[in-house]
Structure 1
Amino acid sequence: MKSSKIDNMLIHEYVINDPLHQLFDAVNAISVQGYDEERRVIYWNEGSELLYGYSQDEAAGQKLEDLIIPKPMRDRVISAHRDWIKNGTEIPATEITLRHKNGDDVSVFSSHVMFTNQYNTKQMYCIDVDLTAVRQAQAQAIFKEHMLETIFEAIPDSFLLMEIDGTIIDYHTNNKNNLDVTPEQFIGKNMQDILPDEVANKFKTHIAKVIKQEGMISFEYDLTLPQGLVYFEARVSYLSKYNQVVTIIRDITEQYKSAELIRHQAYFDSLTSLPNRFLALDRLSQMLIEAERNNEKTSVFFLDIDDFKKINDSLGHEIGDKLLIDAANRLQQVLRKEDTLGRLGGDEFIVLLRGVADHNNTLAIAEDLLKTFRNPFKIDGRELILTISIGVAIYPENGRCASDLLRNADTAMYQAKASGRNTYSFFTKEMNVIMQRRFEIEEQMHGALERNEFELHYQPKLDVKNEKVIGSEALLRWHNPALGNVTPNEFIPIAEHTGLIVPIGKFVIKQALRFLNEWQNIDQQKYTMAVNLSPRQFRDAGLLIFIKNTLSEANVSPENLELEITEGVLMCGQSFIHDALIEINGLGIKLAMDDFGTGYSSLSYLRQYPFDVLKIDRSFINGITLNKADCDLVKATIAMSHSLGLTVVAEGVETKEQLSLLADLGCDFVQGYFLSKPLPAKQLLDFSAQLYPI
């Protein structure tokens, strides 16, 4: 009992009036233990109780190795401690696994310091950081440095113990980079002596606040140091028992940088660094407020790079990204400083003109924007010639809010596309009616298949020589209760754009082949059925398997199916298109080039792909009996096709004279209103029954 009292008295002597102990008594996030020369506990803070499970009373006087050192490590710890006491060999800071009171492992980063007290005896202090908590802080702070640096940056960097007047009693830091002088030079000085007046006054003000209200107060400040402007967060706590203040200071410069990066990513496009949609529309809203106040006009340009998708598909996204960056730089050069160029996404840009005097200013800018694309883009040794389509809406004539102006500029851009591209178009009310119709069609198209609104009509195809029907072309018709009859010219491009053409196309193939089987069985004739395929359908990986299975289910021979494609399918030059056409030919299905003569490179495509049929566009048939040029062109096309082994079909035959002339020119088959308009299935059966009565 007596020995215990003596030990407690000795321990008390180590602790009393020790400012370092006062500092760590106020911090429970870090375990701090003090040991005498025999490795007995002389100090055990609250952080140690939380980390290792032993209370201060339980730990006092116990030996280090008996408390928290696992058995395999004990001899090494005892030896290392003795070497430090006798030989001055410091124990290095390291990550180790110690032992909790309940026997569990405790993973810590442990650092050590040796003091010689007033009794000329040595005391070792261990500062242990729970790595679990530090790693959580590390993840939140997004630091990417070495683990050791991350740990110390994730906890408070600097500890100050101060009198209430700001005089520093004790100071400790893990980051020497933010100090102009050593910590020892701080001791005994007032904050007014070592900090700029503005910062020192902040400390003085917040110390006064925390003394009055207690608890913890935090505030931020910055200092210009040799490495630049550094931001700090200070947390101030009042130790009323000692009438002292503990301040924990943290370097938060990286958090400022991260916040700035997040702000940039929220408002600017990551590829071009232009304002993104959110920021561009916000700026437009501000411009409109100014325009209304100053009675000015504001112009909104919606820009789209023509055929940009072909660049991505054929040359890759890396080339496409470089092209977008160059395009942004070119467009920026045309604009004034007060104007805004933003990227809405993909290949779409927005231009905002502030304080426009009249339409001529807007017109001049539109011309200049088009001119920026006149010169080829030089990307990775390639020269690429591109154009843009521009839609323009003007405040207040074309809208009084940002969303209306952007929508109307977008509508005008589509009109520019429809006008041949590489041009600009100003918004009109008539244009808005057209776009509204487009939106309504797209809305109603969703679910139209399920509602059984689509129906196939069939246009008979006539053998010119014997004047017999040899087949038909399946044509899709759509009647919607809300919209009425919607023409294919309206809904097919929208279906292609939205991707709905894929399920609709499968419906057409299945219905057409099912009817072909019925038609052949009734008339006992081997008719052919022509079905159009769109470019989007070719990107469906299951297309060919679907066609093959549908032929089998409908009991139709492949040679009785004719797939019609236009030049638009072939223009992208993708390898999967070529492979699909070869496989179609391999299945025995006939391949027809539709609308021949309306494109630019049809002859080269006839050489590249295994076509069986060539269909001459109706625009040439209309004039064959009226002018020699059209007649000669059709005559040459028929002769060329026959020389390539192709069967020729003339579309749009509407008069007896046209049919007679085509017969003289050697055309194989015709279709058009002279023979019959497209008919529903039942009417086609009745029509053919008149020709082939049973």
Structure 2
Amino acid sequence: MENHREDTRDAVRQLFDSVDAISVQGYDQERRVVYWNVGSEKIYGYTAEEAIGQKLEDLIIPDHMREGVVSSHHNWVVNGVEVPSAELTLRSKGGQGVSVYSSHVMFRNAHDEYEMYCIDVDLGEVKKAQSQAVSKEELLKGVFESIPDLFFLVTEGGSIIDYHAGDNRKLYVQYENILGGNMADFLPEEVAAKFRNYIEKSMQDDGVLSFEYCLNLPTGKAYFEARISHLAGQRQLVIIVRDITESHEAAELIRQQAYFDSLTSIPNRLLSLDRLSQMIKEMERNGEKAAVVFLDVDDFKKINDSLGHDVGDRVLIEAAKRLSSIVRDSDTVGRLGGDEFIVLLGSLAESFDAVDVVEKLLNAFREPFRIDARELILTISIGVSIYPDNGTSATELLRNADAAMYQSKERGRNTYSFFTKQMNEMILRRLEIEAQLYGALERNEFEVYYQPKISLKDRKVMGAEALLRWNNPLLGQVTPDEFIPIAEHTGLIVPIGKFVLARALAFLSEWGMAHRQEYTVAVNLSPRQFRDKDFVDFVKECLGSSNVSPERLEFEITEGVLMIRQSCVDELLSALHALGVKLSMDDFGTGYSSLSYLRQYDFDLLKIDRSFVSGITANKEDRDLVTATIAMAHSLNLDVVAEGVETSEQLTLLNELGCDVAQGYYFSKPICSLEMLAFNLKERFKTDC
């Protein structure tokens, strides 16, 4: 028992030797100082050498308290009346008052003599420590309640010499007395092995070692951090265990939010791409193939627009569940954002091994989505790239799978496509065009061409459509079909569109003056230009500087722009109509709700798409459609323009059907401004029209 007291006292003293925020003093039964820690030196100003052997009442007790302190100590030693914890104002070496919260505990040492320990907290500097100090408690209890929940003093073999548990529920097993037992005997084998390992390391290394572990307690799963310090002089170890369940769960929540999609709970873009990189490394080591599957829900925007985002969210949640139910546990289903998903398939022997899984993913959407009382029929478009055939980096594989997915879109959706060499060439070409497109305007590489528009009533040139041409030193002549979508995507279409408008109006002014006629010019408007707040002012400025009246300018708008259904579209079309310029619906018939747009907006012209004009002489359906379109347009007081006229037979039939204006290669291909100034219709217009 004496050895146990001595061991415990020495362990506690060693613990407080390095504590400088709390003053701990030890006094023998004659009130002489036997222990004086660093915290006491800081608070009272006496060094340990100065204090050891001095009496308590001569050292830090003010004169008016001396008698009471001596009496209280005597009463405790003789009669067992404990000195209560209290806020006191004691005295420093310099005579200044020191406000402390003082707690006391009485021990019998190995020689069966009384020792009193005082724990003083400086109220001026460590207010927080005051809440941790509990009055009327022994020294060890006060100490243990200011440190983590579990405290163990063990031998180098792991036998428990002493322990304290602020909350017994944190102990893995409930024993009335675990003293003498081994730490490892009270823990699951996996956790016990950790303790044995770190105890051995602690005896070999200086400093404090720490590790984390998990236990299934009656109160639930709990996480702990153990810190082990070797007391080499006593051949013992101090083990302090802190409950970190709350911080662990908070960290898990942060991890969940950082790496998992908040809506579907599957890996988000960040985690998916990280797993893709890890999968590539693993496949490289194993010499295996892998597939990156890129999926996009077809027409998902319509669900959000028509049924609301709540329904859209529930569709995405169900989609994630269906996709996850198909793949192996070792595979990954992630959400890249919006309605785009990614599936990572590893450990493939051959590329075609991915086909079965891809077809199952496609078929997963055959079953209708049941949302409340609705049944939604949805399809997906899938693109697949194979490692290492289609790329050896995450970026390359993802880009190629994305390109293959768009190939599926172009094939009619609800299908899948594997990345091919031809697609790769298309991507490289697109990247080259995009790189050269930047700065092309500043390098004067663009030129506006004009295609004549012919009035079928008097067989005269009545105007022209402005068409952009691009000749690049590296790429040569780049077609509008190639560079316009890229310019639209990058936003470069806005300054390019302004360039076309300014050039077209300047030419229109010159052309009209040269021929003394009031020609018109038609300019195409892109979707991006509808979001340009300065566009209407720019149109006014160009009309004024070129001295062109607004009714001589036509803006051609495709149905795709109108389908956006954004307020900026309505506002710009209204502003242009109020300005007096003419509005023409381009590519009529290629959409599915053109009639509603004709009723909604103030159009002046309707332009029949070349795909219908090309078939009017041989295809009855095309001829009937063109006939109905012309009749409908005239009933709405709209002029009709037919584009893509290439034969005299087409021209004759259009004339008979009452078409107002025609343009096409039959009259002229698009030509530069100088050729347009010199264009002579009589040399080209055939008498058989």
Give the TM-score taking structure 2 as reference length.
Answer: 0.75
**Identity of matched residues, %:** 55
Q: By how many angstroms is 1:472 displaced?
A: 1.7
Distance 1:382 1:188, change over 3 A: same
* Corresponding residue of 2:275: 279
What is the CA deviation profile of residues 507-544 of structure 1, one whole-angstrom value per residue up to 9, with x for unaligned ones? Answer: 22233233334434444433322111122332344443
Structure 1, 354-363 or 517-526: larger mean CA deviation: 354-363
Counterpart check, 1:611 vs 2:625: no
Give the counterpart of 1:499 among 491, 494, 499. Answer: 491
* Corresponding residue of 2:463: 471
What is the CA deviation profile of residues 581-625 of structure 1, one whole-angstrom value per residue up to 9, with x for unaligned ones? Answer: 223222222211001122211112111221111011122223444
Residues in 2 aligned to 1:153 and 1:458: alpha-carbon distance in whole angstroms:
89
What is the CA deviation profile of residues 368-406 of structure 1, one whole-angstrom value per residue up to 9, with x for unaligned ones? Answer: 433333344344665544322222445676667776655
Contact 1:267-1:279 within 8 A present in 2 as well: no
- The alignment partner of 1:421 has SS state of coil
Distance 1:511 1:179, change over 3 A: same
Structure 1, 26-35 or 510-519: larger mean CA deviation: 26-35
Contact 2:645-2:666 within 8 A present in 1 as well: yes
Contact 2:452-2:465 within 8 A present in 1 as well: yes
Distance 1:329 1:655, change over 3 A: same
Which residues in structure 2 correspond to 1:544-583 (within 5 Å)? 544-583=536-575
Contact 1:280-1:342 within 8 A present in 2 as well: no
Give the counterpart of 1:115 among 105, 109, 118. Answer: 105
Residues in 2 aligned to 1:154 and 1:649: alpha-carbon distance in whole angstroms:
88
Gaps of 5+ in 1: 1-14, 68-77, 93-99, 135-151
Contact 1:267-1:278 within 8 A present in 2 as well: no
Distance 1:533 1:179, change over 3 A: same
Contact 1:370-1:388 within 8 A present in 2 as well: yes
* Corresponding residue of 2:672: 680
Q: By how many angstroms is 1:174 displaced?
A: 5.0
* Corresponding residue of 2:420: 428
Counterpart check, 1:594 vs 2:594: no
Q: In the alignment, residue 676 of structure 2 is paired with which amino acid?
A: L
What is the CA deviation profile of residues 20-78 of structure 1, one whole-angstrom value per residue up to 9, with x for unaligned ones? Answer: 85154244275345699xx999976435666x695656999899xx99xxxxxxxxxx9
Residues in 1 aligned to 2:609 and 2:187: alpha-carbon distance in whole angstroms:
86
Contact 2:391-2:397 within 8 A present in 1 as well: yes
Q: In the alignment, residue 435 of structure 1 is paired with which amino acid?
A: I
* Corresponding residue of 1:667: 659
Q: In the alignment, residue 125 of structure 1 is paired with which amino acid?
A: I
Gaps of 5+ in 2: 1-5, 62-68, 73-79, 130-143, 684-689
Residues in 2 aligned to 1:408 and 1:16: alpha-carbon distance in whole angstroms:
70
What is the CA deviation profile of residues 454-492 of structure 1, one whole-angstrom value per residue up to 9, with x for unaligned ones? Answer: 221122222222333332211111112221111111222
What is the CA deviation profile of residues 329-357 of structure 1, one whole-angstrom value per residue up to 9, with x for unaligned ones? Answer: 22334445565434344433334556768
Structure 1, 584-593 or 345-354: larger mean CA deviation: 345-354
Distance 1:510 1:554, change over 3 A: same
Q: In the alignment, residue 31 of structure 1 is paired with which amino acid?
A: I
Aligned CA RMSD, in angstroms, stands at 4.9
Q: By how many angstroms is 1:644 displaced?
A: 0.6
Q: By how many angstroms is 1:323 displaced?
A: 2.5
What is the CA deviation profile of residues 303-349 of structure 1, one whole-angstrom value per residue up to 9, with x for unaligned ones? Answer: 22223345456666554443322212223344455654343444333
- The alignment partner of 2:679 has SS state of helix
Distance 1:499 1:353, change over 3 A: same
What is the CA deviation profile of residues 180-214 of structure 1, one whole-angstrom value per residue up to 9, with x for unaligned ones? Answer: 68999566776467666876676566556545554
What is the CA deviation profile of residues 232-286 of structure 1, one whole-angstrom value per residue up to 9, with x for unaligned ones? Answer: 3333334456665443332344555556566666765454343413214533654
* Corresponding residue of 2:408: 416
- The alignment partner of 1:645 has SS state of coil
- The alignment partner of 1:679 has SS state of coil
What is the CA deviation profile of residues 618-646 of structure 1, one whole-angstrom value per residue up to 9, with x for unaligned ones? Answer: 22223444455544432332221111111
Residues in 2 aligned to 1:17 and 1:604: alpha-carbon distance in whole angstroms:
90
Q: In the alignment, residue 452 of structure 1 is paired with which amino acid?
A: N
- The alignment partner of 2:224 has SS state of strand
Contact 2:460-2:681 within 8 A present in 1 as well: no
- The alignment partner of 2:501 has SS state of helix
Residues in 2 aligned to 1:46 and 1:689: alpha-carbon distance in whole angstroms:
107
Q: In the alignment, residue 507 of structure 2 is paired with which amino acid?
A: F
Counterpart check, 1:28 vs 2:16: no
Residues in 2 aligned to 1:122 and 1:112: alpha-carbon distance in whole angstroms:
12
Structure 1, 557-566 or 340-349: larger mean CA deviation: 340-349
- The alignment partner of 2:637 has SS state of coil
Residues in 2 aligned to 1:463 and 1:582: alpha-carbon distance in whole angstroms:
27
Residues in 2 aligned to 1:201 and 1:673: alpha-carbon distance in whole angstroms:
86
Contact 2:106-2:116 within 8 A present in 1 as well: yes
Residues in 2 aligned to 1:112 and 1:321: alpha-carbon distance in whole angstroms:
61
Residues in 1 aligned to 2:473 and 2:242: alpha-carbon distance in whole angstroms:
68
Counterpart check, 1:488 vs 2:484: no
Give the counterpart of 2:436 among 429, 438, 444. Answer: 444
Structure 1, 533-542 or 283-292: larger mean CA deviation: 283-292
Residues in 1 aligned to 2:229 and 2:641: alpha-carbon distance in whole angstroms:
92
Residues in 2 aligned to 1:641 and 1:654: alpha-carbon distance in whole angstroms:
23
Residues in 2 aligned to 1:40 and 1:458: alpha-carbon distance in whole angstroms:
110
Q: In the alignment, residue 277 of structure 1 is paired with which amino acid?
A: L
Q: In the alignment, residue 637 of structure 2 is paired with which amino acid?
A: G
Distance 1:432 1:243, change over 3 A: closer
Q: In the alignment, residue 115 of structure 1 is paired with which amino acid?
A: V
Contact 2:148-2:242 within 8 A present in 1 as well: yes
Distance 1:509 1:186, change over 3 A: farther
Contact 1:638-1:667 within 8 A present in 2 as well: yes
- The alignment partner of 1:470 has SS state of strand
- The alignment partner of 2:508 has SS state of helix
Q: In the alignment, residue 283 of structure 1 is paired with which amino acid?
A: M
Contact 1:613-1:648 within 8 A present in 2 as well: yes
Residues in 1 aligned to 2:483 and 2:616: alpha-carbon distance in whole angstroms:
31
Residues in 2 aligned to 1:101 and 1:614: alpha-carbon distance in whole angstroms:
101
Contact 1:312-1:319 within 8 A present in 2 as well: yes
Residues in 2 aligned to 1:289 and 1:445: alpha-carbon distance in whole angstroms:
41
Residues in 1 aligned to 2:93 and 2:559: alpha-carbon distance in whole angstroms:
81
* Corresponding residue of 2:135: none
Q: In the alignment, residue 466 of structure 2 is paired with which amino acid?
A: A
Q: In the alignment, residue 279 of structure 2 is paired with which amino acid?
A: R
Residues in 1 aligned to 2:282 and 2:197: alpha-carbon distance in whole angstroms:
39
Q: In the alignment, residue 483 of structure 2 is paired with which amino acid?
A: F
Q: By how many angstroms is 1:171 displaced?
A: 4.6
Residues in 1 aligned to 2:513 and 2:101: alpha-carbon distance in whole angstroms:
93
Distance 1:328 1:263, change over 3 A: same
* Corresponding residue of 1:125: 119
